[in-house]
A and B are shown apart, each in its own frame.
Chain A
């Protein structure tokens, strides 16, 4: 079976300053469907950069990136946008909800993006399903300003789930939340893996990392799997 994500020798160099800095240095990583992976590391170690390469926000300078067995390390932007829509769901530390939209509209945003078109009724049922999955269907008509941090982050997760992604990328999703709500958010993410979705979680929280299937350490751009002794 082909892996969902297969990184091999991924390098990202930051140019522009006096001397180029290597942010990612030969990173290799394999994630299969339904697998969950934690990436931990100090601030500035390159975790977000790695996620933005995996999520096709950015392209690696060298190395190979296979998604569903297809090499996409040098994908042009037009096709990358399509893949972001069809394969990925994103959750960030800051929730990035649009203030002027309701929870339901914020979720629908991922559907109304020009990548195909769904009739309104179908859109609505997908949105409600996604909100229901994270347990906040009752907040569909509320705006972000009226919601708690945990609720907002769950709206963001619903937005990530609404297109039924193959892989979820979460960059410190609990960083702005207290322990209890943070746990709820991780619950919601793990629930998605049970439906066959892959999950890559960047986190500082040991407990959250420990709930993932694998833990990888990123140190100065070098990724190594931590062999856990349970």
Chain B
């Protein structure tokens, strides 16, 4: 143990002496290696950033991996069954989507059907038993949102990011005037149209004045407003939510193995409703796609790294050739051959690590500059941190290059005969 640490220290001391004595050489090795390590760091950084961004969006839009999602058509009895079953449960949250028009009374919304503001989904329709026809009236200062009623805190399943204000508070008593949390498109729409805040919901007993308490990022393009189900039901009973002109999706998010699932399924089947259930596996699926992409990019980066290794190898061999006398002398004073090899390896390893440090520093700095310059227009680049995986990849690349580039020179150095070199 002591001998090993003595050798380790010796090779480190001598290696550093060697590097300091040949600064230009070291610099040239680093230059030849820099691009290779940089390529590895950049590929890993890109992969990590892309993966994180994609996964974060997917988790917001679809849910964490393992979440059970049950979709069903909105139907009068089904709504009641669902809301009654999940009431007060921690392991399941029901999401009921209805249409809500917020704004000037009596006008058509600027975005019929709750379309994103920059899209046209066709005119507003009214339907009855005879069929559907365009709704009468003119467009005014009103925005149609998907009003999504939540039976509990859905953020257990989907990590909506709070942009401003607060998220819905499910712990306090339901309020008489509903508190709404908007998503970003809805917030933008209200910003743009400065609508008077009155909300019409088909089937509701009366129009109400909602309170906007916050804005979240839910990854959706459609304007949406979130509301507590128990607050909505005080003026829109579940039985009236299934109005064909307003009603929409009904969804149940559950933990895996939640007892709610079989109960709701059974009850719905009894009503003749066939629910569709799936498990969220976004991360898994994403990983499959990313693995292939990463493989392609890493092979290219590896190739560039290999060229750098050839550079280190070249410089290393030339250096050993020049240092024949030094190595013979070191052997003469009792330096074991393994330590000589260790010295050469230590030098290339240190060179590799220095290069890695330079490449990591350069890409971290570049990322900082890029996020500062275009971060505002590219949400994917907004406050991204330099991923630690990229740093690790760079260090590994530096070590691998150092070992590969130093191995042959190290063997050469260990094989130098003393007698021939030192003969006077």
Contacts and interface: CB of A to CB of B under 8 A. Distances in A.
Contact of B9 (A86, A110, A117, A163): A117
Interface string B314-344: 0000000000011001111111110100000
A2 interface: no
Contact of A113 (B18, B21, B335, B422): B335
A148 B94 CA distance: 92
Given A84-B333, A117-B5, A112 B422 contact: no
A109 B14 CA distance: 9
B17 A101 contact: yes
A84 B332 contact: yes
B333 A90 contact: yes
Contacts of B335: 81, 85, 113-115
A171 B326 CA distance: 18
B2 A81 contact: no
The prevalent SS among residues of B at the interface is helix
B334 A100 contact: no
Interface in A95-134: 96, 98-101, 105, 109-110, 112-117
B10 interface: yes
Nearest to A55: B332
B333 A85 contact: yes
A63 interface: no
B419 A117 contact: no
A117 B334 contact: no
Interface string B1-27: 011011101110110011011100000
A85 to B, nearest CB: 2
A100 B18 CA distance: 8
Interface in A46-89: 48-49, 52, 55, 57-58, 77-78, 81-86
The prevalent SS among residues of A at the interface is loop
Interface residues of A, number: 38
Contact of A58 (B10, B18, B419): B419
Contact of A114 (B326, B336, B423): B336
A81 B325 contact: no
B418 interface: yes
A85 B331 CA distance: 9
Given A81-B336, A175-B424, A114 B17 contact: no
Contact of A110 (B21, B333, B337): B333
A172 interface: yes
Interface string B267-283: 00000000000000000
A112 B13 contact: yes
A92 B337 CA distance: 21
A117 B332 contact: no
A116 B7 CA distance: 8
21 contacts: A49-B419, A52-B419, A52-B423, A57-B331, A57-B419, A57-B422, A81-B334, A81-B337, A83-B334, A84-B332, A84-B334, A86-B334, A98-B329, A100-B22, A101-B17, A109-B333, A113-B333, A113-B334, A117-B9, A175-B424, A202-B424
